A = this chain, B = another copy of it.
């Protein structure tokens, strides 16, 4: 058998596993796996360094299937390469409830799936993040411990999504030369030919962004191999345009959108078997082919063993291992408690964005794996500290990324950094612009990874910039995302506690909503216990309170002022601070009931829409907040104008009492 024949048989194994699994599920996308099978075969059998027996080996090459609808390509590869938790049976369960082989690759479902993809373009930016992490860790731990490539496979749709441009421009700027993007250039999208909607010269576009580009026949294994070799040597990130035929091998559907997202049908599949000379039944892989794949799967074992030896001989072993385990350093808790004592002593009046910076100064001093940044709002987000020198294209010794005005790629690349391991990324942005990166934030929540978003300018407190920059519905809409912890601390102490909770949450993302404007200290006594950990707690307790006021962030001080005024009027009033609704809803029922309490009048105060607050105040509770968009004006004027003041709380309570 010639090497070409061998290659073709190996690639056809992917094709038939994919089309047969899609057919069995009667659902899925055969076109990409069939079209990209040659590219994937060369990549995984000759270039990718990994070990199916040690799938989380930190120095493995990373592979991201940005075109996640082609998931059967990835599942086929994992099975063929010998990943033990991907069996033929799993492939037969493609797209069935409870199977590992979900419609799109789901991180955590099986080894070797480096990220969850499906929403197009995300994977490119994830890969950029992984390549950033690799380069940063190589700088820190040396190439003996960190030296791998990151590969991504994308489709036309990925390249049309705006996030791709943000990611591509950033990668080119940073000269991420170990990032290699393979574009499955099949000229077909769901609606038909790409030319229906796009005329972009992708090579010119990538070159304009400082990439190296190569153009090949994506069905010619020699060209694929030569291109990958060339890419590995480039001093820039490389895009390899692989001209392929979607649904390659299917006699009537190949090259058309009919091969994209539907089963080919029994007849077409039978004809494809004939056309490609594949004499085996569904899910039947001949021994020679499976052997060849399994041998390829094990070819990096030696490389991995040698790496383990280097790690074992390294003075950095303990630190490297801790970092990849995701454990925080021993000094962290102590440093945070010391800082909280200092806050209790000094009682600073600070904007929470500033409190966040002071907290970060402590964190970055003891947690070397934090990796900061901002989408061009550093001076506003206060995400930089004395430890955070900037990353530059030629020097990755810093710990801070100037992401540019690219919220979406920032969030998606942070997902890639967290998935890579060894670093804890945190961002900087305006809360309003969480809208720009919502898909990536959701994917972090779905995957359960530790990324931390610092979102400042969290309400009409923004002031003069006006309604385009004033979050109103963002708290509700972010709280609606399952598994995302949204913190809105009320003062410097709560800010420290919320930061601590975010860092200690290994398997979920967090957002911190922080003020532009100054906040008085409310938590003035040191407690070792992190009071924010329950999500909501008695800030000002009162037995048999007539009124309970629930509030978050900057409005907790409004609640405290209202409490004083009401108390002065003989109305017993309690104040509950609600820094994190998600954590509160996860508390035992008894705690939740106790916090909600039995006051005849319940008030919620947040400079945002009411949605979500009824769980505290009931649908008949008083809500002091926003019911529409903000306005441009001085911050204090806006709070008065929209009636979010202690006086408004008192008035509403008195009106209700009659």
Contact = CB atoms under 8 A, between A and B. Distances in A.
B446 A467 contact: yes
Interface in A379-420: 379-380, 390, 393, 402-406, 408-409
A282 interface: no
Contact of A190 (B191, B378, B446, B480): B378
Given A406-B160, A618-B618, A103 B466 contact: yes
Nearest to A634: B97
Interface stretch (A340-348, A352-360, A608-616): A608-616
B436 A479 contact: no
B197 A404 contact: yes
Given A162-B164, A483-B628, A376 B189 contact: yes
Contact of A466 (B118, B192, B435, B483): B118
Given A190-B376, A198-B173, A466-B118, A162 B160 contact: no
Interface in A409-433: 409, 432-433
A439 B443 contact: no
Interface stretch (A199-207, A296-304, A571-579): A199-207
Nearest to A465: B103
Contacts of A160: 166, 169, 376, 404-406
Nearest to A615: B619
Contact of A197 (B156, B189, B403, B464): B403
A599 to B, nearest CB: 14
A198 to B, nearest CB: 5
A383 to B, nearest CB: 11
Contacts of A119: 432-433, 435-436, 468-469
A116 B189 CA distance: 33
A11 interface: no
A191 B376 contact: yes
Nearest to A29: B465
A104 interface: yes
Interface in A467-507: 467-469, 472-473, 476-477, 479-483
A17 interface: no
Q: Which of A210, A466, A614 has the most CB of B within 10 A?
A: A466
B170 A405 contact: no
A321 interface: no
Contact of A612 (B192, B433, B611): B611
Given A205-B208, A404-B197, A468-B104, A380 B190 contact: yes
Given A172-B199, A469-B104, A482-B472, A377 B433 contact: no
Contact of A628 (B106, B468, B482, B618): B482
Given A210-B200, A405-B120, A97 B641 contact: yes
A59 interface: no
Nearest to A463: B27
Given A170-B197, A390-B196, A476 B619 contact: no
Contacts of A446: 467-468, 629
Contacts of A162: 161-166, 406, 408-409
A627 interface: yes
A3 to B, nearest CB: 37
A637 interface: yes
Contacts of A117: 468
Nearest to A196: B402
Nearest to A194: B404
A87 interface: no
A457 interface: no
A113 interface: no
Nearest to A432: B119
A473 B445 CA distance: 12
Contacts of A628: 482-483
B204 A207 contact: yes
A374 interface: yes
A632 B116 CA distance: 13
Contact of A97 (B25, B116, B376, B633): B633
A68 interface: yes
A442 interface: yes
A365 interface: no
Nearest to A468: B118
A19 interface: no
A468 B208 contact: no
Contacts of A165: 162, 164-165
Contacts of A433: 119, 439
Contacts of A106: 466-468, 632
B402 A465 contact: no
Interface of A: 25, 27-28, 68-69, 95-99, 102-104, 106, 116-120, 156-158, 160-166, 169-170, 172-173, 189-192, 196-205, 207-210, 374, 376-380, 390, 393, 402-406, 408-409, 432-433, 435-436, 438-439, 442-443, 445-446, 463-469, 472-473, 476-477, 479-483, 609, 611-612, 614-616, 618-620, 627-629, 631-634, 637-638, 641
22 contacts: A68-B468, A95-B632, A97-B633, A97-B638, A104-B469, A118-B468, A158-B405, A160-B166, A160-B404, A161-B406, A162-B166, A170-B198, A199-B393, A200-B208, A203-B208, A204-B204, A204-B207, A208-B208, A435-B438, A473-B481, A476-B611, A618-B618
Which 10 pairs, one residue from A and one from B, show the smallest C-beta to C-beta distance? Answer: A162-B162, A97-B633, A197-B404, A118-B468, A165-B165, A204-B208, A477-B477, A614-B614, A102-B632, A473-B480
Given A104-B469, A480-B611, 17 more contacts: A97-B633, A97-B637, A103-B632, A160-B405, A161-B436, A162-B162, A162-B406, A162-B409, A189-B376, A199-B209, A200-B208, A436-B438, A472-B482, A477-B477, A480-B609, A483-B628, A618-B619
